Amino acid sequence: MAENQSTELALTGNDYSSGEQQEQKSGFVGSLGGMDLVRQITLIVALTICLAIAILIIM
């Protein structure tokens, strides 16, 4: 007898019968992941510091 030996993951729809519910994220924070938000804030702070140093050098 032939058995299905596929290694693909079987995905079900929105089946919450196991008691688990997925967290619904919305808004700006929901569209970005946690690390993406930290990366964006770090980039903005670094650019602000560089801009401040450049202004001090020019003056």
CA gap 40, 38 in Å, rounded: 5
pTM of the predicted protein model: 0.45
Record the tokens describing residue 53, joined without a space.
């140093």
Q: What is the pLDDT of residue 21?
A: 61
* pLDDT for position 22: 62
Task: Please give the sequence-ordered ranges of beta strands (E in DSSP) within 1-59, or none if there are none.
Answer: none
